[in-house]
């Protein structure tokens, strides 16, 4: 059902570059048709933004569950669903079902499993899954250790024009580690692996990306050494991009003191030097995407000894306010923040959203960037409140959300 024409008035439009500009925005037929000095037409629904930011709805690249209340709270209108489901998204019928699971007020873009059962050995039916609605291919939570399999995957996906989203940790080195090797892990007695496990995986996949011509997206790059590799590869024209979640630019492995299982993540939290390197990489353009890594986990997964707890965090609700801390700190401007949260992930998925432009889909978030609130794991909209940011004061809240020009209530 096509939404009634909508005009949003009295807001500050977030452009692709530069500072927000006062203006109105009109939507018709589910798409943006005019921006700037625009007057409502007869029959339009009129929404007064009251001076708030009018921004593109967020496009969350790499969530592990379809959690609509949390997505809507966080201003997310589209989410790329990781293939690590039960059963995994390694069959066209499962992909087709997942692609319908959030409509009409939330669009889910499935990521096809790279290999059957995500076992890293036999390629899945990638072309059929693309035709069923898969927007990219993913290795899931794990790295494909067999370089021959990975090269075949990349060559095939280059032919299909599909981005490969990969997890960057050499599993032969990480093993059963739950922390990054260093003083904190040693003091706590936690199984740990060197940070170089990430750089080794990134180096191998950059080499294979260069050989195959395939676009490889590293879902999370969290160490200075690996970020340097990505930066250098980009400079010589290799088709690689990189993402990160707020946990790795806000928190360090010092958060593990007290064995807080909400801080049990994959990849694990890094040193403070690596955290600062992530911030620098966001500032200089090495990192292209900030995603939530949304992975709600209940007490049965988290109320365990640290080494036995499952990794993951409920990140959808805190994605926007934590990214806005980078704006307040002068690391990036607002336009760049929404490029990281919406524009770039939309481009990687090949969807016509993530930006405020004539002709783009009318996925729009009304944001009060200065509205303060306190993260409370017990009151989150997510299906589980496993956030490492519990009790943290933040600023920035979505006050209204529109999907395809229709308000989400």
Q: Report how far residue 260's alpha carbon sits from residue 178's, in angstroms, rounded to the nearest whole number.
A: 12
Residues paired with residue 373 on neighbouring β-strands, in sequence order: 394
Pairing relationship of beta strands 240-244 and 216-218 according to DSSP bridges: parallel
Could you tell me if residue 163 is inside a domain? yes
Assigned token pair, 217: 């997206």
Contact 398, 364 (CB under 8 A): no
Report the candidate in 241, 115, 109 with the shortest Cα–Cα distance to residue 168.
241
Q: Report how far residue 151's alpha carbon sits from residue 253's, in angstroms, rounded to the nearest whole number.
A: 34
CA of residue 240 relative to chain centroid, distance: 16
C-alpha 198: how far from its chain's center?
19
Q: Classify residue 69: in a domain, yes or no.
A: yes
User: How many residues comprise the chain?
Assistant: 409
Note the pLDDT of residue 2. Answer: 60
Please indicate, yes or no, if residue 371 is contained in any of the structural domains: no
pLDDT tens, the chain, 409 aa long = 567 899 999 999 999 888 999 999 999 999 999 999 999 999 999 999 999 999 999 999 999 999 999 999 999 999 999 999 999 999 999 999 999 988 889 999 999 999 999 999 999 999 999 999 999 999 999 999 999 999 999 999 999 999 999 999 999 999 999 999 999 999 999 999 999 999 999 999 999 999 999 999 999 999 999 999 999 999 999 999 999 999 999 999 999 999 999 999 999 999 999 999 999 999 999 999 999 999 999 999 999 999 999 999 999 999 999 999 999 999 999 999 999 999 999 999 999 999 999 999 999 999 999 999 999 999 998 888 899 999 999 999 999 999 999 999 8
Residue 52 located in a structural domain: no
Q: Is residue 214 part of a domain?
A: yes
- Residue 175: is the preceding peptide bond cis (ω within 30°)? no
Contact indicator for 215, 209 with CB cutoff of 8 Å: yes
Task: Kindly state whether residue 30 falls inside one of the protein's structural domains.
Answer: no
Please state the domain count of the chain. 1
Torsion of CA 229, 227, 57, 97, to 10 degrees: 60
Q: Is residue 25 in a domain?
A: no
Q: pTM to 2 decimals?
A: 0.96
Q: Is the peptide bond before 102 cis (omega within 30 degrees of 0)?
A: no
Q: Is residue 159 part of a domain?
A: yes
DSSP 119-182: -SSSB--HHHHHHTT--EEE-TTS----HHHHHHHHHHHHHHT--EEE----HHHHTT--EETT
Alpha-carbon gap, residue 137 to 149, rounded angstroms: 14
Amino acid 97: pLDDT: 96
Query: What integer pLDDT is reported at residue 230 of this predicted model?
Result: 98
Place of tokens 């009790």: 391
Q: Report the distance separating Cα 361 and Cα 247, nearest Å.
A: 30
Q: For the domain that residue 280 is a member of, what is the CATH number?
A: 3.20.20.140
Sign (positive or negative) of CA dihedral 193, 243, 282, 215: positive
Helix axes 147-160, 196-212, angle to 10 degrees: 50
- The range of the structural domain enclosing residue 141 comes to 57-353+377-392
Distance from C-alpha of 124 to C-alpha of 185, rounded to nearest angstrom? 37
């Amino acid at each position: 059902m096509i939404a009634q024409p909508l005009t949003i008035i009295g807001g500050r439009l977030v452009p692709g570059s530069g500072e927000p500009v006062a203006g109105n925005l009109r939507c018709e037929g589910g798409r943006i048709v005019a921006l700037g000095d625009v007057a409502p037409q007869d029959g339009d629904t009129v929404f007064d933004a009251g001076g708030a930011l009018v921004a593109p709805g967020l496009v969350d690249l790499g969530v592990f569950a379809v959690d609509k209340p949390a997505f809507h709270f966080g201003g997310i209108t589209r989410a790329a669903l990781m293939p690590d489901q039960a059963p995994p998204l390694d069959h066209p019928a499962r992909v087709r079902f997942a692609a319908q699971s959030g409509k009409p007020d939330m669009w889910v873009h499935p990521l096809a499993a790279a290999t059957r059962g995500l076992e890293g050995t036999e390629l899945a039916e990638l072309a059929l899954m693309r035709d069923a609605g898969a927007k990219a291919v993913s290795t899931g939570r794990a790295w494909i250790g067999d370089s021959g399999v990975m090269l075949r995957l990349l060559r095939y996906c280059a032919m299909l024009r599909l981005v490969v989203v990969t997890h960057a940790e050499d599993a032969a080195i990480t093993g059963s580690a739950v922390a990054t090797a260093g003083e904190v892990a040693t003091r706590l007695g936690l199984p740990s692996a060197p940070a170089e496990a990430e750089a080794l995986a990134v180096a191998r996949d950059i080499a294979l990306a260069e050989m195959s011509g395939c676009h490889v997206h590293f879902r999370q790059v969290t160490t200075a050494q690996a970020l340097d590799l990505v930066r250098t590869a980009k400079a010589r024209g290799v088709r690689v991009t990189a993402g990160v979640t707020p946990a790795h630019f806000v928190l360090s492995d010092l958060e593990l003191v007290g064995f807080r299982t909400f801080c049990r993540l994959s990849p694990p939290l890094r040193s403070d030097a690596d955290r600062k390197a992530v911030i620098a990489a966001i500032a200089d353009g090495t990192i292209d995407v900030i995603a939530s890594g949304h992975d709600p986990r209940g007490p049965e997964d988290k109320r365990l000894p640290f080494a036995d707890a499952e990794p993951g965090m409920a990140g959808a609700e805190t994605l926007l306010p934590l990214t806005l801390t980078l704006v307040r700190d002068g690391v990036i401007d607002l336009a760049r923040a929404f490029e990281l949260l919406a524009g770039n992930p939309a481009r990687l998925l090949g969807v016509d959203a993530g930006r405020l432009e004539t002709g783009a889909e009318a996925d729009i978030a009304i944001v009060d960037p200065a509205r303060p609130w306190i993260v409370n794991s017990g009151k989150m909209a997510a299906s589980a409140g496993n956030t490492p940011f519990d009790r943290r004061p933040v600023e920035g809240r979505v006050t209204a959300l529109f999907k395809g020009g229709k308000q989400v209530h």
